Homo-oligomer: A and B are copies of this chain.
Amino acid sequence: MTVRRTSVQTLLGSQELEREVVVNGWVRTRRGNKYVQFIAVNDGSSIHNIQVVADAEKFPEESLKDVTTGSCVAVRGQLVASQGKGQAVEIQAADITVLGKADAETYPLQKKGHTLEFLREIAHLRPRTNTFGAVLRVRHALAFAVHQYFNDHGFYYIHTPIITGSDAEGAGQMFRVTTLPDQNPPLTEDKTGVDYKQDFFGKQTNLTVSGQLEGEVAAMALGKVYTFGPTFRAENSNTARHLAEFWMIEPEMAFYDLQDNMELAEDFLKYLVRYALEKCSDDLQFLNDQYDKELLERLRFVVDNDFQRLTYTEAVEILKSAKKKFEFPVDWGTDLQSEHERYLVEKHFKKPVILTDYPKDIKAFYMKLNDDDKTVRAMDVLFPGIGEIIGGSQREEDLEKLRARMAAMHVPEDELWWYLELRKFGTAPHAGFGLGFERLILFVTGMANIRDVIPFPRFPKNAEF
């Protein structure tokens, strides 16, 4: 009978010893002496390797010459209790086959301790490192947790369009999508511009900056929905916090007011962090030890504390009377800077914070106006170390108030006729928010640069792989 392959993770947790097993994976290290060689094999299922023990009697030096760091091997042997420290079980090898060599002179991950900057240049190999293995497993776990949470709570997943004919939301610079020739495109009859009627979609199109407006369409029919898809910003920001292509999660709920929206955001974030703590404990422990000794503490801090809720106006008062000297002055009506947000979370309240009711002039046109005619029912969730992690609002459901806001903010009505019709036909109070998925991964993994939490980052002058 052929023994079927088992994952490293399964073997490491196995109580059933003294049996033949088969494992395939990549060699992380090989060390030993003239009597025995120890080969650490990893197959991506765990941050931990399984130790393969090869006795020199059975495996003379020459037979192991291709078993080098980075090579791919298939190992058959006995699963036994380990005599050494650091692992409960190991494999006493009976047979080792090299499936793929990795030349020791040229394999880029030969040595340990490469910089994250260097690893970004070999994004096709970096998932084989401990760090990126851990980050990608956490990323998977959190993506699944997002779907699990919403499915369990009666939300429907909606795929909103990536290519959009509208640039109405004004959330940022957009990428143009076209099939017109890149030189001498057809012009309109009066020669004043490109004739987009001849482009693929018969109009100018861009990559979406948010699925929210289309999410509202779905919420006004299905009740509770969410999007989870890629969004884009063509901003020339070369920072550790910005990507040109990133994934966003945007729930949108009919019949929710700002209060309901806050309850959901807090419950959702706690669920996600708790999920990671439970399902990714090995990976998070590694990241905690390797990069950020306060990581686990910070994650528990979010799970264990009620989020402090206050208005923007109250926050401005607190910041004004703070002893701390800020780089940017605080004044009612201006947007808060990261230093202000972090002061509130880390110094003043010492817990996550939800700020509400921002001045209307610094928020988007679709947010519901308060009776004071000065503020809108916006909410930002602020986290330690990271500042804003969620932005949301109750939406303006009144047709005339929405039109007035659009006029005031120069949002053209003709592109959003369908969005206005949601208010014309069976309108309802509703609310929603957006969570940048990579921001969440940054927070949960403790990584410092957003380019290190997505497999293939896209940023100015970089679309490699």
Q: Spell out A's residues near B (CB within 8 Å).
A: 5, 7, 9, 24-27, 43-45, 70-72, 74, 99-103, 106-108, 122-125, 127-128, 132-133, 136-137, 139-140, 143-144, 147, 151, 154, 156-166, 173, 175-180, 182-183, 185, 187, 193-194, 200-203, 205, 207, 214, 217-218, 220-224, 229-230, 232, 234, 236, 244-245, 247, 254-255, 397, 418-419, 421-429, 454-456, 458, 460-465
Contact = CB atoms under 8 A, between A and B. Distances in A.
Given A101-B426, A136-B222, A218-B455, A144 B159 contact: no
Contacts of A230: 159, 162, 229-230
Contacts of A455: 158-161, 214, 217-218
A214 B165 contact: no
Given A202-B462, A422-B124, A460-B201, A177 B207 contact: yes
Contacts of A157: 139-140, 143-144
A126 B102 CA distance: 56
Contacts of A106: 424
B425 A464 contact: no
Nearest to A247: B159
User: Which 6 pairs, one residue from A and one from B, show the smallest C-beta to C-beta distance?
Assistant: A100-B427, A44-B222, A127-B221, A124-B418, A201-B463, A202-B461
B217 A429 contact: no
Given A127-B220, A140-B156, A165-B463, 17 more contacts: A26-B221, A44-B222, A99-B428, A123-B217, A127-B218, A139-B157, A140-B151, A160-B455, A161-B458, A161-B465, A163-B207, A182-B194, A201-B460, A201-B461, A214-B455, A214-B456, A230-B230
Q: How many copies does the complex hold?
A: 2
A136 B154 contact: no
Contacts of A454: 159
Nearest to A26: B426
Given A214-B455, A460-B200, A465-B217, A158 B178 contact: no
Contacts of A254: 24, 43-44
B201 A462 contact: yes
B107 A163 contact: no
B175 A177 contact: yes
Given A163-B175, A464-B165, A100 B221 contact: no
Contact of A429 (B70, B99, B221): B99
A5 B222 CA distance: 15
Residue among A122, A424, A428 with the most chain B CB within 10 A? A428
B205 A463 contact: yes
13 contacts: A24-B254, A44-B156, A45-B222, A99-B429, A101-B426, A136-B218, A139-B157, A161-B463, A166-B465, A182-B194, A201-B244, A202-B462, A218-B455
A59 B153 CA distance: 34
A70 to B, nearest CB: 5
Given A158-B136, A223-B44, A245-B163, A125 B194 contact: no
B183 A173 contact: no
A179 B235 CA distance: 10
Contacts of A160: 455-456
B214 A45 contact: no
A427 B101 CA distance: 7
Contact of A128 (B25, B99, B165, B221): B221
Nearest to A165: B463
A220 B123 CA distance: 12
B460 A133 contact: no
A186 to B, nearest CB: 11
